Amino acid sequence: MKVNERIAELRKRMKKNGIDIYYVPNEDDHLSEEYTADYFKCKSYLSGFSGDYGCTIVTDKEAGLWTDGRYFTQAEDELKGTCVKLFRLRQAGVPSPIEYLLANTPNNGTLGFDGHVVSTAVASMLKNALQQKKAKTVTSLDLAGEVWGQDRPAMPKDSIYVLPKKYTGESASQRISKVREKMKAAHADVLVLTQLEDPCWLFNIRGNDIACTPIAYAFALVTDKKAFYYIDKSKVSGIIAKELEADGITLRPYESLGSDLAKLKNKTVWADLNTLNASLSAEIDKSNQIYNHASPVGMFRAVKNNKEIANTKNAHIKDGVAMVKFLYWIKNHVGRIEMSEISAADKLYALRAEQKDYIEPSFPTIAGYKGNAAMMHYSASDKSNAKINAEGFLLVDSGGTYYDGTTDITRTIALGKISDEDKMYFTKVLKGHLDLMMAKFLEGTTGCNLDILARGPMWNIDIDYQCGTGHGVGHVLSVHEGPQGIRWGVPPMSRPNPPLVPGMIVTDEPGVYLPHKLGIRTENELLVVKGKKNFYGQFLQFDVLTFVPIDLDAVDSRYLNKDEIDYLNAYHAEVYKKISPFLNAKEKAWLKKATRKIA
């Protein structure tokens, strides 16, 4: 079926079940916000929009797709010719999905959604708000899945593997003990872990259930004496089962969490209602007390230990070598050989694969030439694949997952002649990037407090990049991982912005995106470390983890001050020092020029 036929079929099923409005989010049953297994991509199946963020809402008269500024141009292209209307999130006059659901559920009407992919917090809020209209919610029907039918992809079945202690710095039993200490302090009898990264971190398990994200679909439940791992047992080899058992971990079938929760009586259950889906929370007996708080594992994951930091630094050196070889190749071959967005991405994949302990890309490489780069999460296809010539900008956002760490880097490359205006935009982005990297800030500062350092140069010329400035990065887990992040505005209660603390990793990636014209982004990973401590308190600052040159051919130094130029020169000196020993003579000579001092 085509998109319009899918929407029509959904409406038939809505009418049959007495549902006036149906909500299809992007999430899976672990409430993953972005990357999910193909099985859960109902939002994309219904709407035809392939981006990794947003939702689809259907009434009897209207079908809408909500997404944010990273995807506006892509959504415009993909929704053409369909009955699905684009709602641009956070734009003036555009209702949020929740506002739309509440406004468009009729009096005495019914709002439907699959409770497995909607959080308890959101489901409860919708149910309570609709009582004013004497309307109700139905959470037991996966109508989008019914429309998809037999063509729907199966749940992934790949085997899991153990990430050894030499990479994690801690055994599973040590990590479980740390979690139990937090449970004891909170007077919690049971901790329910539903976010995909949490059981992976806790048990030092990794998997292949989502492309470019080494996680396994699984839940975990921890008490003061036992730890249970809910997973499809066909994914667990006999050797790994024995290792888990030795660490005090009991295997349970993936689908058994609900029934096990139903057996709990008179307990204090630690569960984050923003990440526990509505179907699972409905199984918890009323005799239990819910301690609604973010999982302690989230902060444990966010604050890397010394072994994880050392390994991550090593991974970034390898990644820097691959990136420098790529930049050398593209600068010396563009205009001389046939080159496209896809062939450039393939070259970079191959160079990363040469590095020791490489596992996979940390996300699909974004290689956007000229106007295609204006789509922040662009993915080249056979239809869109642009030929690359010796002019304009090529934006390459990429990363690798290694056994010792996860990387995420963006470089915008001048391939030949560019205008003075292009150089101005490039240097404004660089200015914001440098100002954030150079920041010193007092303990207790959040990413929201720092965002203006990177965004300010763009706001000063009346433009915005319509997304966050930076995100947390997992350790051999998700490349987009909180709870820390750098973004502007007041954080919602469902997505708090905690203070930055030593050991956290964030990205620094301001940009400029002019639809159908160009996209510019510069991105490094930064490690939060301690600075000076004095009368005013403990200062913090950033150590740079990413060592790859920034294209000086696109820099107009008139837009940078002396401190910024000095910092850039010092950074480039470190790039040459750390990366050049791994290059051949020609690559080393090129890197020397690419990291030259500017005035």
Q: pLDDT tens digits, the chain, 599 residues: what are they?
A: 999 999 999 999 999 999 999 999 999 999 998 889 999 999 999 999 999 899 999 999 999 999 998 899 889 999 999 999 999 999 999 999 999 999 999 999 999 999 999 999 999 999 999 999 999 999 999 999 999 999 999 999 999 999 999 999 999 999 999 999 999 999 999 999 999 999 999 999 999 999 999 999 999 999 999 999 999 999 999 999 999 999 999 999 999 999 999 999 999 999 999 999 999 999 999 999 999 999 999 999 999 999 999 999 999 999 999 999 999 999 999 999 999 999 999 999 999 999 999 999 999 999 999 999 999 888 898 989 999 999 999 999 999 999 999 999 999 999 999 999 999 999 999 999 999 999 999 999 999 999 999 999 999 999 999 899 999 999 999 999 989 999 999 887 767 889 999 999 999 999 999 999 999 999 999 999 999 999 999 999 999 999 999 999 999 999 999 999 999 999 999 999 999 999 999 999 999 999 999 99
What residues does 506 pair with on adjacent strands? Answer: 472, 526
Write the pLDDT tens digit of every residue in 101-121: 999 999 999 999 999 999 999
**Long-range pairs for 575-579 at CB < 8 Å and ≥24 separation?**
575/320, 575/547, 575/548, 575/549, 578/317, 578/320, 578/547, 579/317, 579/320, 579/321, 579/324, 579/547, 579/548
Does an H or E element contain 252, and which?
Answer: strand 249-252
Number of residues assigned to the chain:
599
In angstroms, the CA 401 to CA 241 distance is 25
Please list, in sequence order, all residues whose beta carbon lies within 8 angstroms of the beta carbon of residue 256, skipping any fewer than 6 positions away: 230
- Per-residue burial over 527-547, b if 16 or more Cβ lie within 10 Å, else e, is bbeebeeeeeeeebbbebbbb
The listed CATH number (3.40.350.10, 3.30.200.20, 3.40.50.970, 3.40.640.10) that belongs to domain 161-294 = 3.40.350.10
pLDDT for position 208: 95
Encoded tokens for 546: 């990413």
Q: In the chain, where does the domain assigned CATH 3.40.350.10 lie?
A: 3-151, 161-294
CA separation for the pair 422, 319 (Å, rounded): 28
- Phi, psi torsion values for 174, nearest 5 degrees: -65, -40
What's the pLDDT at 492?
Answer: 77
- What is residue 377's predicted lDDT score, i.e. its pLDDT? 85
Q: What is the pLDDT of residues 539-558, one digit of tens each?
A: 999 999 999 999 999 999 99
pLDDT at 491: 83
pTM (predicted TM-score): 0.93
Contacts of 305 (CB under 8 A, 6+ apart): 169, 170, 503
Q: Using one digit for the tens of pLDDT, what is the confidence trace for 416-449?
A: 999 999 999 999 999 999 999 999 999 999 999 9
How confident is the model at residue 517, as a pLDDT?
A: 94
The single-letter DSSP state of residue 536 is T
Delimiting residues of CATH 3.90.230.10 domain(s) in the chain: 303-594
- pLDDT given at position 345: 98
Query: What CATH code would you report for 3-151?
Result: 3.40.350.10
* Chain segment 36-47, per-residue pLDDT in tens: 999 999 999 999
pLDDT score, position 20: 98
pLDDT of amino acid 69 = 86
CATH T-level assignment (fold) for domain 303-594: Creatine Amidinohydrolase (3.90.230)
